[in-house]
């Protein structure tokens, strides 16, 4: 898993993008460029570089997208 600014490459074809809606962090997960999941909440802040805990949390959020 690699971070490039607010973009995170989870695996080939699966990416996440961090953002904000007002003061609330957001995370969109895409598969081959198509948005598949959108999350909003205070637990969506990830460190740079990504910690093992961040990577595990991102993998769990992206699990449904990976299998779709």
- Per-residue pLDDT tens for 12-66? 999 999 999 999 999 999 999 999 999 998 888 888 899 999 999 999 988 888 8
What domain range includes position 27?
Answer: 2-67
Cα–Cα distance, 61 to 54 (Å, whole number): 11
- The number of distinct structural domains making up the chain is 1
Residue from 25, 21, 33 nearest 57 by CA: 25
pLDDT of 67 above 90: no
Torsion, Cα 46 50 52 54, to 10 degrees, reads 20
Per-residue pLDDT at 43: 81
Describe the chain by its helix, strand, coil percentages, rounded to 5: 25, 45, 30
């Amino acid at each position: 898993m690699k971070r490039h600014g607010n973009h995170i490459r989870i695996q080939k074809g699966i990416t996440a993008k961090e953002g904000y809606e007002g003061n609330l962090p957001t995370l969109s997960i895409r598969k081959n460029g198509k948005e598949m999941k959108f999350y909003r909440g205070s637990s969506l802040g990830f460190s740079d570089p990504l910690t093992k805990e961040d990577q595990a949390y991102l993998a769990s959020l992206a699990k449904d997208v990976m299998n779709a």
